[in-house]
Structure 1
Amino acid sequence: MNADGATVVAEGLRKTFGAPGGGVLDAVNDVSLTARAGELTALVGPDGAGKTTLLRMMAGLLEPDAGSLRVLGIDVGRDPQAVQDRISYMPQRFGLYEDLSVQENLDLYADLHGVPLDQRRQRFKRMLEMTDLARFTARPAGKLSGGMKQKLGLACTLVRSPDLLLLDEPSVGVDPLSRRDLWKIVRQLVDDENLSVIVSTAYMDEAAQCAQVFVLHEGRVLDQGDPGTLRERARGLTFAATPPPGTPARDLQARLLDAGAQVVDAVPKGGAVWFIRQPRAEPEALRRLLGGVHHEPRPEELEDAFMMLLRQQQAQEDAPPPAPGPSVAANAPERAEQLAIVVRDLVRKFGDFTAVASTSFEVARGEIFGLLGPNGAGKTTTFRMLCGLLPATSGHLEVAGLNLRTARARARGRIGYVSQKFALYGELTVRENLEFFGGAYGLRRHALRRRVDAMIEQFQLDPAAASGLLPGGYKQRLAMAAGLLHEPEILFLDEPTSGIDPLARRAFWRTITALAQTGVTIIITTHFMEEAEYCDRIAIQDAGRVLALGTPREVRELAGDSGIDMDSAFIAIVEQGRARTRPAPAEAGA
């Protein structure tokens, strides 16, 4: 470690990669930063900002093209092995061995890191206690929920005690309960072991827990400082507006977002719309925009400052956010039926295990319906049954007016599907992917060309770009375009914003709002609880059962307080549900 207490010192750091077409991509471009010892340091920024490249250089896995990089006082370019001997690094896709048990994975990583046998017992005990995996040491890693896999990945990363821990978006794809547990573990390590941690994250509430935050954009540092200092950028500019009765918060948000001259950003939260006023906005113009909607000041948050920085950069680059417009599915057929989905007593078993237990709900045409739950709650199984990808064990399931037991193929022709993981062909161009999937949906010749061109224009895609090389936010745009080619009546979105930054999430939801306004029904799963506020209604599942069903406000009230944020409501409802089903002490000891 340096004498001045810095774990990482980068000066003029640069890393380039070859871009499609023979160009050069500056992944990290003249970055200078210092991360202090014994602290949590956050790297935040939109897709393609350079966060992962920077972490991989710190880990000695990529060699800088220019500049200097010292990690723990060591020149990482000259002696990467010396750095790797003293750090632990958890990439986004940590490699667990799914056929091995929890304990066998820990043993394997201890062998790989050369952890002495006399140190393992104590280290394993501490990691298993911190991650609450001590009860599951014999369970195969492949049978763990997503949140438990992330905790096991962190435990395997920490089988030795490092001087520096590097975490690349450790909470992507995990629910709020698991996210809270992960950060509790990280904070405990920092407090108890004085561990230095550098983490990249798409969650601004996670970055707000860090001592230092570096905001990256297109390989450069836009700003840096502690969360309090960064929040000052938004002081006096943040407000909460209450939508009129009967007006969804997302509709007010869309109106505010579309008025870029007056509003920097807007997002539904707690039944209101939180927005940031443009510093130079005319008060009278803002009042006209709000049209008498009640609004009042609110405390600024780190995400407000982050969005201001990104919007300012966007304006300087003359790159406006994608304008979805209401015409994406304007030709979606009108239907006499008011219900798009009917679920009655739905059950799905895998052998002796019941993944979904007697679930019932209805979804109206044009409704945005959120299906939420912890990892392993049964929502993915429910989702797959709704899409016709998995048959139900019992119960009644109707989609687009068709019974999935008797007309599954016809029902599939009326739905669109966007998966969490990019499921298109990476070696094909954007246009080739859209033409292929359009053909699979039965589109031909003129109709196919018309829809492909419309989707390319709608989502502002480069038709010649190689799909596999697109940034995460653009991959999601392409996946959405492919799912909407045949103008479906119902669109299923499986964690579509997992791992993408707040700026990309705003643009994505602006598109979803426009789709719902044309009558398309949206069914979505998400781990970003703020996104539940966009939904007309949500269902929260755990252990295969529905714990809550209603509007976001009704769900918050069920959690005990209509004014709390959805993260807190989600955690409260799941913990209440688990407390009701937990055996009493006498039963547990029987």
Structure 2
Amino acid sequence: MPPALAEISGLRHVFPGARGAPPRVALDGISAVIPPGMITGVVGPDAAGKTTVLRLLAGLLRPTGGRVTVLGHDMATDAQAAHAGIGYMPQRFGLYEDLSVAENLSLFADLHQLPAGLRTERVARLLRFTGLAPFTARLAGQLSGGMKQKLGLACALLARPRLLLLDEPSVGVDPASRRELWSIVSQMLEEGREDGMGVVWATAYLDEAERCGQVLLLHEGRMLAAGPPAGFLAPMQGRVFRLAVPAASRRDAARRAAAHPGVLDAAVQGDTLRLVLHADAAVPDAASLGGTALAPAPPRFEDGFVDRLATAAAPPPPTEPIRPQAGDGPAIEVRDLVRRFGAFTAVDHVSFSVARGEIFGLLGPNGAGKSTTFRMLCGLLQPSGGTARVAGQDMLRAPAAARARIGYMAQRFSLYGELSVAENLAFFARVYGLSRATRAQAIAQALQRYDLAGVAGDVAGNLPLGVKQRLALAAALLHGPDILFLDEPTSGVDPLTRRAFWARIGALAQAGVTVLVTSHFMDEAEYCDRLAIVSAGRLVATGTPAELRARVRSAGLPDPTLEDAFIALVAAGPAELAA
């Protein structure tokens, strides 16, 4: 058996507290072996310690306790000797956005001290391999998310590392780009097998973890489980089912199923619910769960993940959802919407409508125009042509009036990290123009509804991602908006946190709040009532998740996932539009 690339023994790491806060234990006594010839997945909820493990393996941190050995070198005392054999791609790709593609590669070649001939050969090969050869003069900051992903990977691979460390490389990129990244890394691993290459891949996408050779599951800095993915799936056999439910009542059925004593997890999956039962629980009757039929389903890695974290109960949805103003007609109506940037048309005559109380998903590859469409509907960007009516207001003529009736939750935490939870809520209440009495009532309700009362005095920037998410949602809803805009709201969070978030969103929709969401995460898109897919600035498909899957069903693909449908419809879009 070839020697391990890295060994972790009794690893502990503690970060000092910021601004008087107590020290934070990021890792507490974990041990693992990273073998060559395979991808080792590192998964876990937010703040589990994934990034800390990768930074310790890269020699960017010194452990507080225990030992990290990489390529035979102790990373506490001899990290420099191991650096030449390590490739590291941090979150957000670690690029210099003011430099071009070629300049980024040249800089990383300098850092690795590659000789001129070898540098030219490797840069040319990686440009061909990643499809970036036509874009060498483009600034990294002007690349789409998928192209940034590939450039970051190319920079990490320049030195032909024996150990490649990838820290959540696929967060924020579309499904096609995720599959392409996996293909590139798998091929590089195969080519580097003779050299004993190995990969450590930290990920929030559990379908990626299922493809790894081994998986390390972290939780609150401890190793919860480790082994091949099959070991996580075996205990789930016979415990996973699909519940057919009427489309109009699927969110009610999800809450009802989640409350059943035998059900561990209930997730909306298009026109069905996906149920995971507790171990040894009797299979319930479909009618008792609000469904019409119950059928066995094959387990997924995510089921094993949820099973291991079953003690982390999801908070309930809000008990008194804010009821928006009543009105007639669609909440959002878009007709021939156009946005040009100079000679480039980012959005090209897009049309759709969203009913009141509907959850509507806007999907598309990186650079397809969905974010530009989203920003126009939020009032953040002026349309070049067409019409867009939001909450009954024309976005061309009265954008300010429309903005007063919408709430917006950005993809990245966009509140004030230096302020406390309560101070953030007070600030946004004033921004929304709430009176003093209304402001106090709205803040008190937000703290209660979104389970924030216990952290009201905590500095927002120090909160875990899931709590930041609840705070951002609470701030967006302070003024009781008719329409809620969500920009990739659960990017990077674990399945339990995602379930809790969408339980809240479903309750808001049932109270009449209209929700428009953008996402690259297809499990998240399953919660939508309808979806629109945008590609190359044009609308290529609309329908319910079940309808989109049906459009690509075939003898070769009898049970397509929504990700399968997305990739197929995007690929077919240009031909269909031309026809």
TM class, shorter-length = over 0.9
Give, in whole Å, the separation in 1 of the partners of 2:167 and 2:187. 18
Once superposed, which parts of structure 1, at least 4 consecutive aligned residues long, lie more than 4 Å away? 579-583
Distance in 1 of aligned mates of 2:564 and 2:406: 33
Partner of 2:223: 221
Question: Following TM superposition, by how much is the alpha carbon of 1:283 offset from its aligned partner in structure 2, in angstroms?
Answer: 4.1
Correspondence list, 1:327-338, <5 A: 327-329=320-322, 331-335=323-327, 337-338=328-329
Provide the secondary structure at the position in 2 that maps to 1:576.
helix
Asked if the contact 2:540/2:577 (under 8 Å) is kept, the reply is no
Give the aligned residue type for 1:500. Answer: V
CA contact (8 A) 1:270 1:565 kept: no
Question: Shift in Å at residue 505 of structure 1?
Answer: 1.1
Partner Cα distance (1:207, 1:292) in 2:
31
* Alpha-carbon distance, 1:175 to partner: 0.2
Aligned residues: 570
Other-structure match for 2:333: 342
* Aligned-residue offset at 1:291: 4.2
For the aligned residues, what is the CA RMSD?
1.8
Q: Give the superposition deviation at 1:334.
A: 2.1
Write out aligned runs for 1:157-556 (5 A): 157-194=156-193, 195-244=197-246, 246-259=247-260, 261-283=261-283, 287=286, 289-291=288-290, 293-311=292-310, 313-314=311-312, 320-329=313-322, 331-335=323-327, 337-461=328-452, 462-556=455-549
In structure 2, what is the Cα distance between the partners aligned to 1:380 and 1:437? 24
Which residue of the partner structure matches residue 573 of structure 1?
569
Aligned to 1:10: 8
Shift, 1:410, TM fit? 1.1
CA distance in 1, matches of 2:249, 2:290: 15
> Contact 1:248–1:536 (CA<8 Å) still a contact in 2?
no
Deviations 1:290-330 (A, max 9, x none): 2452011111111110011111x32xxxxx3211234131x
Return closer, same or farther for 1:580/1:126 CA change in 2, 3 Å cut-off.
Answer: farther
How far 1:139 moved relative to its partner?
A: 2.1
Partner secondary structure for residue 512 of structure 2:
coil
Distance 2:56 2:242 in 1: 41
CA contact under 8 A between 2:85 and 2:159: conserved in structure 1?
Answer: no
The one-character-per-residue Cα deviations of 1:268-306 (angstroms, maximum 9, x if unpaired) are 23532111011243445x556324520111111111100
- The alignment partner of 2:92 has SS state of coil
Cα distance change, pair 219–196 in 1 and its aligned pair in 2 (3 A): same
Contact kept, 8 Å, 2:254 with 2:273, in 1: the verdict is: yes
CA distance in 2, matches of 1:547, 1:137: 30
Q: Does the C-alpha gap of structure 1 residues 75 and 582 become closer, same or farther in structure 2, counting only changes over 3 Å?
A: farther
Deviation string 1:165-209 (CA, Å, 9 cap, x unpaired) is 001000000000110111111111111112200011011110011
Amino acid at match of 1:541: V
- Give yes or no for contact 1:270–1:563 (8 Å, CA) kept in 2: no
For structure 2, the 5+ residue unaligned runs are: none
For 1:267, give the aligned amino acid: A
2:286–2:293 contact (8 Å) kept in structure 1: no
After superposition, what is the alpha-carbon deviation per residue over 1:129-177, rounded to whole angstroms, capped at 9, x for unaligned?
Answer: 2211122222222221111111111111111101100010000000001
Residue 140, structure 1, aligned to residue 139, structure 2: yes
CA change 1:252–1:130 in 2 (3 A) is farther
Structure 1 range deviating more: 188-197 or 384-393: 188-197
Structure 2 vs 1, CA of residues 582 and 414 (structure 1 numbering), >3 Å: closer, same or farther? closer
> What SS is found at the alignment partner of 2:6?
strand
Aligned partner letter, 1:262: G
Answer with 517-526 or 142-151: which moved more. Answer: 142-151
Q: CA deviation at 1:32?
A: 1.0
Deviation digits for residues 441-498 of structure 1, max 9, x if unmatched?
0113221121112111222121011111112222111111110111100000011111
440-449 vs 212-221, which deviates more?
440-449
Which range moves more in the overlay, 97-106 or 383-392? Answer: 97-106
